[in-house]
Amino acid sequence: MKIKVSAGELIAVLMPDGSLQLEWGTAGGKADKSSALLQREIFSSYGSERQNWLLFLGFSDPAVALSSSLDFWRRFSGLFVHHLRMTPDLEELRHLVRVPLAEQELSALLEVIPAMTGGEYISAELLSSLWSELTATFAAAIGDFSGTVADFIHRFSPDSHLLGRIYFHLVENKGADEPFAFLATYSTQPGTEGQSKHLPLKYALQEYRDDNAKLLELLVTVHEVAKESELVARLLESN
């Protein structure tokens, strides 16, 4: 089916059954090129990959102006994307990931609903349901994707970055002269319940002794942080 793209303003309409539809309305003013381009990209995603368009919207640039209705849903799906990117061990969890939505975040969304067609149907239950759909959408998409999660996300947003797999800890050093010790760990493959384990970083040298590419992939985030942190740079330099 060929979908006609208008030169007006793209708006989101919430139907009584809780589904979202995109429609072209009359533009309130002259849209700039960035807005016009983003609207066309969103509508193209809506027409060709209906199940993924809301996820696509969440990755779109929040600085580019959209209609108030579409901007609300970008804020909603953008919050999902933010939590997704900030999920520890996302590369290992992949389709098993569960992205939480805090009660205070839900309340904050309900307080900023703009005037929109179907806005009266928005409720905490509806937003929670759409959040679950976003989780299922990501799980299905990453399940069919052969590359890394980082590669998948870069397809939507080249500037997005994931949390690394290396963690720095300051731990109590019982029975020693120094009261605290510095510990670096890395996350390993998740177990049957989807929870990853953390091991001292030295064990990574054993796990990846025959795979330099994997070892480099693990350590690259530390090198990136070292560019910004003098402390991490010194630790890396001194091994």
What pLDDT does 208 receive?
80
List the strands of the sheet with 166-172, edge to edge. Answer: 166-172, 180-187, 198-200
Position 48 pLDDT exceeds 50: yes
36 band by pLDDT with thresholds 50, 70 and 90: very high
How many other β-carbons are positioned within 10 Å of the β-carbon of residue 85? 18
Structure confidence by residue, pLDDT tens digits, 95-146: 999 999 999 999 999 999 999 999 999 999 999 999 999 999 999 999 999 9
Q: How confident is the model at residue 192 (pLDDT cuts 50, 70, 90)?
A: very low
The vertex-185 CA angle with 182 and 191, nearest 5°, equals 150
H-type alpha helices, 99-172: 103-110, 124-143, 149-156
pLDDT above 90 covers what percent of the chain?
A: 50
- Residue 2: what pLDDT? 46
Q: Radius of gyration of the chain from Cα atoms?
A: 22
Work out the pLDDT band at 195, boundaries 50, 70, 90.
low
pLDDT category of residue 187 using cuts at 50, 70 and 90: confident
Decide if pLDDT at 3 tops 50: no
**CA distances (Å), 226 to each of 214, 219, 231, 235, in order?**
19, 11, 8, 9
What are the residue boundaries of the structural domains of the chain, listed by start? 9-156, 166-237
